[in-house]
Chain A
């Protein structure tokens, strides 16, 4: 018989072994070498935390008391895993896609990241799980006390045992559950230890079972015979209760915080679920295989009054199998500890994420939530939560005073957390489900459950005795044990139908009468249609792979050189030999900062989160990214518009500047020309008048000649000024035209008469076709004559032929009439064609002739005012000008 001290020593060694396994796995995983960890078997074994000490010990007790009813606890999960596999797959897919950290996170995410809903679910989970933890502590304490028979040396103090166990479990959970604020919320070391414990408890139960069947009885046939003999065969099964508990356990497998933790949060590969869908039911089957034999044999072998909940342990002890008993003890110990560890982890995640951290953030509003300080706060909150959850369990255990019926507490806890089910299922499959509906359903169900089941169970201390017996304020139908006056029915079933029914009703009604917020609509669509949105699941890679991916991403954004330098320096800073640093929170933060400089903080956070699989890319992140992107796009399009505008303005400015420069150059040239044209006659006038003033040595003829020159030059000046004024008026468009009926021939006659009076006119012969000139015109005859005079006098001045001739021909064309003035001189050099209409321009050959060079410029202006034109006809032997009279100048003949 093992001494109590020996038992404690075995426990310590066993726990130390668990620590070592967890440490070793964490180390391997951080080196990226834990491939076997990726096995679906580890995942399946970790799911076995469903079978706690309650099922390990309690199933036999239940079988001894109520026959096959214990099977329902296994039946529910089996049905879910085999029949509702698609539901689990959807849960896991959403959990991975949305980086869900807990069941509370799941519910709150689905309903628009509602903090209040998360807190509500968290409170529900804590209240529902606390008795469960108390149950585990109780089972461990009980099993200890079994070994230390009353009177034995060193009798254990049950309460101090519970404290030690709770403390040890808290330590283990803190060490492996909060090693770092693991962004992906996965804990490979912890999961491996759980898996190992799953093997231990299965092996222990099978060993006890095998001993009972083949060691005590003589095989399965003997067991069946014993069952027939025993009272178990007479127990009637309650159909309604069977259905109810099966449904309840089916709900529990997805709603229990610890189950959600291993099923969804710790899932590293969606494909593992396929293996678990048959392997986990198989595990449950093996766990239940020997329950009946142990119960039957226990009832026969053990003294009357022995606690059937402890048959697994007491039967081997009674039969002198100390080693087997120790194994059974370790199995129960494993079942209890693994449940407590995962439950504490899951609850602490919820409590810290949804209660402590939001409160802390509200208290320190305005500070950067991504700071390292925040991570420390979250980590500390998580550790405190673990301690708090276990302390709650301990307190509950001590207050409840060690109730004997373990199974009933388990079922009560099941129903408590099952209140989440309507909101969870509705959220997965019904887009119309709203936050208000979910809150109403959970709240109503929770209140009913608490009043009908929890209060009677917990308030055994006599505090509420009056309420229990008479109902609050003496209202009998509100009496918890017999709600609505229902008496004699199964309280669990009543509570289940009432709470879940009211819950579902409130949920649907609340959802129908309220409208979802945009965030809820978005999340609803993402949850319900998760398969449309998410990529095929990828296996979780080791940290080396993550660093690789981070580098690839960083290179895209920062450029290859800068990214490589950043990673190299970080790796060196961590004292690593490789180029890739460990993706520690510090490094991730630094990387995020670097990236944020390029792509914005929200995007950087989302990108890093996407790769590390952690910093959960929440909808808020995505919206922030969208906002940033929209801002950037708007900003850049504004910039683009601005820059286009600037370019246009610059072009216009350049154009204007060029025009101004041109105008300025033209003005300079014009002033220079005017200066020249004015100063030239003035020079002669001044010189000759000074000579005349001196009056010496001049004969009369000389005086007369000089006076004549002065007179001529004065006229020249006057003419020049007249021309300038004329041109100015014409150019400004201020000229008034005296339009009248006339004929082309008349105007040409006037011009010829005017020019023949001039000195030079004598030499030039003018040839006209008077027959063709009978063209009626509606025009300003004076102005048109001025143009003709200018053209004729130009020919008189510049035609360099021996016998100068000017031929004036008229061409009547559709809509216009053209008059050509062609002389027989050497013509105008082609390079000057573009110049002759400019002010003061004179062909070189015409240099010696008098005139300011304004004639053609004025003539062209006049023709434009008259609606026609004046052009030089190129390619002629002599100088040929064409005067075009417009159609509207023609009068119908």
Chain B
């Protein structure tokens, strides 16, 4: 079984597309559509890596990231941020808050997979499918 990834994304179609992509790549994929309850889901599922959308109903992805980094249990949890806003200041903000990587929608599937692998295992063989931190 591959590494476990949690996708926090409110757009059902995008969630479905990424889930399909990652599952096919061997990830154990979990989806979550609400910002307000994302932290509980993370605590319950203990994913190896989180793909986090910025614009979420309930709670913004940036707020969730801040909480993750403030919690010792999750401060080193790899996070890949997604945003549709495409402005430099959003990316800077996300990286400053401790995101491991950042992708602007729309992205190519290959870009998505490669970035996620790298986030999950920065030192590893790019071809491997991540490991437990």
Interface residues of A (CB under 8 A from B): 672, 675-688, 690-691, 697, 709, 712-713, 844, 847-848
Q: B16 near A709 (CB under 8 angstroms)? A: yes
Distance from A823 Cβ to chain B, minimum over Cβ atoms (Å): 20
Q: How far is the CA of A686 from the CA of B13 in the complex (A)?
A: 11
- Residues of A within 8 Å of B11, CB to CB, are 680, 683-684
| Structural contact, B58 and A844, CB atoms closer than 8 A | yes
Are A691 and B20 in contact (CB-based, < 8 A)? yes
Q: Apart from A686-B108, A712-B13, what are 7 other A-B pairs with CB-CB below 8 Å?
A: A682-B106, A683-B17, A684-B11, A684-B13, A687-B112, A847-B57, A848-B10
Whether B106 contacts A848 by the Cβ 8 Å rule is no
**What are 30 residue pairs bridging A and B, where the CB atoms are less than 8 Å apart in the complex?**
A672-B87, A675-B84, A675-B86, A675-B87, A676-B84, A676-B85, A678-B84, A679-B104, A679-B105, A679-B106, A680-B11, A680-B14, A680-B84, A680-B105, A683-B105, A683-B106, A683-B107, A684-B14, A684-B16, A685-B106, A687-B17, A687-B106, A687-B109, A688-B13, A690-B108, A690-B109, A844-B58, A847-B57, A848-B33, A848-B57
Closest to A697 in B: B24
The complex places the Cα of A461 from the Cα of B86 at a distance, in Å, of 123
A678 nearest in chain B by CB position: B84
Q: Which residues of A contact B112 (CB under 8 A)?
A: 687
Of B18, B20, B108, B112, the most chain A CB neighbours within 10 A belong to: B20
B39 within 8 A of A: no
Among A682, A712, A713, the residue within 8 A (CB) of B105 is: A682
Within the complex, what minimum Cβ distance (angstroms) separates A721 from chain B? 16
B101 at the interface (CB under 8 A from A): no
Given the known inter-chain contacts A680-B105, A709-B16, A847-B57, please indicate yes or no for A687 contacting B85, CB distance below 8 A.
Answer: no
Chain A's closest residue to B86 (CB) is A675
From 1 to 34 in chain B, residues with beta carbon under 8 angstroms from any chain A beta carbon are 10-11, 13-14, 16-18, 20-21, 24, 33
- In the complex, what residues of A have CB within 8 A of residue B58's CB? 844, 847
Q: A690 vs B105: C-alpha distance in the bound complex, in angstroms?
A: 14
> Which chain B positions have C-beta within 8 A of A678?
84
Which of B10, B21, B109 has its CB near the most chain A CB atoms (within 10 A)? Answer: B109
Among B10, B14, B56, B109, the residue within 8 A (CB) of A691 is B109
Of all chain A residues, which has the CB nearest B24?
Answer: A697
A-B pairs, 5 with minimum CB distance = A847-B57, A687-B17, A679-B84, A684-B13, A683-B105
CA separation between A709 and B104, bound complex, in Å?
21
Instruction: Say yes or no for B55: interface residue by CB 8 A criterion.
Output: yes
* A713: nearest chain-B partner, CB-CB: B13
Known A680-B84, A682-B105, A683-B11; judge A691-B57 contact (CB<8 A).
Answer: no
Residue of A677, A679, A687, A697 most packed against chain B (CB within 10 A): A687
A396 smallest CB distance to B (angstroms): 107
Closest approach, in angstroms, between the C-beta of A699 and any C-beta of chain B? 13
Across-interface contacts of B14 in A (CB, < 8 A): 680, 683-684, 687
A847 touches B10 (CB 8 A): yes
Q: Give the docked Cα–Cα distance between A207 and B16 (Å).
A: 146
Give the complex CA separation of A678 and B105 in angstroms. Answer: 10
| Chain B residues, CB < 8 A from A847 | 10, 56-58
Q: Across the interface, which residues of B come within 8 angstroms of A682, CB to CB?
A: 105-106
Task: Flag if A675 contacts B85 (CB, 8 Å).
Answer: yes
Which of B20, B84, B85, B87 contacts A683 (CB under 8 A)? B84
CB proximity to A under 8 Å, residues B42-58: 55-58
Contact between chains at A684 and B17 (CB < 8 Å): yes
Q: Which A residues lie within 8 Å of B33 (CB)? A: 848
Residues of B within 8 A of A679 (CB): 84-86, 104-106
Distance (Å) between the CB of B43 and the closest chain A CB?
A: 22
Binary A-proximity of B52-95 (CB < 8 A = 1, otherwise 0): 00011110000000000000000000000000111100000000
* Chain B residue contacts of A709, Cβ below 8 A: 13, 16-17
Do A844 and B57 touch across chains, with their CB atoms under 8 A apart?
yes
- Shortest beta-carbon distance, A114 to chain B, in Å? 84
For B87, what are the chain A residues with a Cβ–Cβ distance below 8 Å?
672, 675
- Beta-carbon contact of A691 and B21 below 8 Å: yes
CB closest chain-B residue, reference A844: B57
- Residue of B at shortest CB range from A671? B87
B103 to chain A, nearest CB (A): 10
CB distance from B131 to the nearest CB of A (A): 25
Complex: chain B residue closest to A687, CB-CB? B17
Q: Shortest distance in angstroms between A675's beta carbon and chain B's nearest beta carbon?
A: 5
Contacts of A844 in B (CB 8 A): 57-58
Given the complex, which residues of A lie within 8 Å of B84, measured CB to CB?
A: 675-680, 683
Smallest Cβ-Cβ distance to A716: which chain B residue: B13
Give the nearest-CB partner of A712 in chain B.
B13
> How many Å lie between the Cα of A887 and that of B133 in the bound state?
70
In the complex, the chain B residue whose C-beta lies closest to that of A677 is B84
A688 to B15, CA, bound (A): 11
Query: Contacts of B109 on A, CB cut-off 8 Å?
Result: 687, 690-691
Q: Which residue of A lies closest to B18 (CB)?
A: A687
In the complex, which residues of chain A have a beta carbon less than 8 angstroms from the beta carbon of B10? 847-848
Q: What separation, in Å, do the CA atoms of A684 and B10 have in the docked complex?
A: 12
**A657, B44: Cα distance in complex, Å:** 50
Give the residues in chain B near A681, CB-CB below 8 Å.
Answer: 13
Contact check, A688 vs B17: say whether CB atoms are below 8 A apart. Answer: yes
Collect the chain A residues with CB atoms within 8 Å of residue B106's CB: 679, 682-683, 685-687
Report chain B residues within 8 Å CB of A685: 106
A624 to B10, alpha carbons, bound, how many Å? 85
- Which of A676, A691, A697, A848 contacts B17 (CB under 8 A)? A691
Min distance, Cβ A237 to any Cβ of chain B, angstroms:
122
Q: Give min CB distance, B19 to chain A, whole Å.
A: 10
Q: CA separation between A713 and B11, bound complex, in Å?
A: 11
Which residue from chain B places its CB closest to the CB of A705 in the assembled complex? B16
Given A683-B14, A684-B17, A688-B17: A676 and B24 interface contact (C-beta under 8 Å): no
Q: Which residues of A contact B16 (CB under 8 A)?
A: 684, 709
A680 CA / B20 CA spacing, docked (Å): 17
| Docked complex Cα distance between A676 and B107 (Å) | 13
Q: Which residue of A lies closest to B13 (CB)?
A: A684
The docked-state distance in angstroms from the alpha carbon of A848 to that of B35 is: 11
